[in-house]
Amino acid sequence: MSSWSPGWRAASPLFAPLQPLPARLCDRADWLDCAELNAHTAKCGLVNAQGVPIRFIDDATAPPASGYEARIYHTGEVATRAHNWHDYFNALAWLSWPHSKAALNALHLRAGLDTQRNRARDALTLLDESGVVVACADATLWQQLVQAEWTTLFVARRAVVRAAMGFYLIGHSLYEKALCAYPAMTGKCTLVPVAADFFALDMAAQMAQLDAALAQQLFKHPPHSPAEFAPLPLLGIPGISADSEQPGFYANTQIFRSRRITAAQP
């Protein structure tokens, strides 16, 4: 999908984490440019891990630098392609997850920016592109997700999931895919434990709490391998799609696989 879609934010529940953002950034007649983005980032004090203000700069005119992540870390400049959904959602992710995005950027530098990408950087990139933050007040639900017990989790325990588990996209590539969602679309999950009353908060308060907690977790326990993140077919999340209301949907083993992994848990 390359053309602008004015009503994109209302198209899917997967965009819920972006709902607190101002209408002028999202509910528009045309693309947002870097000048408008930077006016907003200046007002909200968006900075990188070193406290350097974040500025979105046109990728076509960006000055030479030592690399994408290094430029963000040293100068605060985020190279952004015009009229590009992927980079647009990256900017919105910075605004929605400011502390976590800054942490991911800093950890890229800590992991090393050699020509040969290492497993730690693979893990950071995976979370940045395809990450789903799972807020969970019941540890058994998280274990069932990790063990891919899909029917137990999303059918038998569906009411418990709705009350004690929430799914929040951080990966900007997932937001781009959600414009034209498909059944096998999969995110990679990281856990943020929360109290039961977390889900009574409004979305802005939930996002602020999750962002602060995730950033802290990332610095304390940086991911070392992509295998640490549990896979989740996103259209299986209760209420995300019409298919998710049909118990038989979770029996499709081409989508809901029984793969077992070891996922990191704070």
Choosing from 123, 148, 163, the residue where a domain stops is: 123
If asked whether residues 239 and 170 sit together in one domain, one would say yes
- Residue 179: inside a domain: yes
> Count of domains in the chain?
2
- Residue 155: inside a domain: yes
- Residue 116: inside a domain: yes
If asked whether residues 13 and 79 sit together in one domain, one would say yes
If asked whether residues 150 and 116 sit together in one domain, one would say no
The mean of the pLDDT values for the chain is 93
Q: d(Cα 34, Cα 40) in Å, to the nearest integer?
A: 10
- For residue range 148-174, what is the model confidence (pLDDT) as tens digits? 999 999 999 999 999 999 999 999 999
- Residue 256: inside a domain: no
Choosing from 123, 144, 162, the residue where a domain stops is: 123
If asked whether residues 230 and 171 sit together in one domain, one would say yes
The answer to whether 90 touches 78, Cβ cutoff 8 Å, is yes
Q: Please compute the mean of the pLDDT values over residues 70-92 and round it to a whole number.
A: 96
- pLDDT > 70 in the chain, percent: 94
If asked whether residues 138 and 237 sit together in one domain, one would say yes
If asked whether residues 69 and 169 sit together in one domain, one would say no
If asked whether residues 119 and 133 sit together in one domain, one would say no
**pLDDT band at residue 259 using 50, 70 and 90 as cut-offs:** low
If asked whether residues 133 and 246 sit together in one domain, one would say yes
If asked whether residues 144 and 225 sit together in one domain, one would say yes
Kindly report the pTM of this predicted structure. 0.94
Helices (H), the chain: 23-26, 34-44, 68-75, 85-96, 98-111, 119-130, 139-146, 150-151, 158-164, 172-178, 203-220
If asked whether residues 239 and 134 sit together in one domain, one would say yes
The answer to whether 13 touches 239, Cβ cutoff 8 Å, is yes
If asked whether residues 215 and 102 sit together in one domain, one would say no
If asked whether residues 68 and 150 sit together in one domain, one would say no
114 lies in which domain range?
8-19+27-123
Predicted pLDDT of residue 1? 60
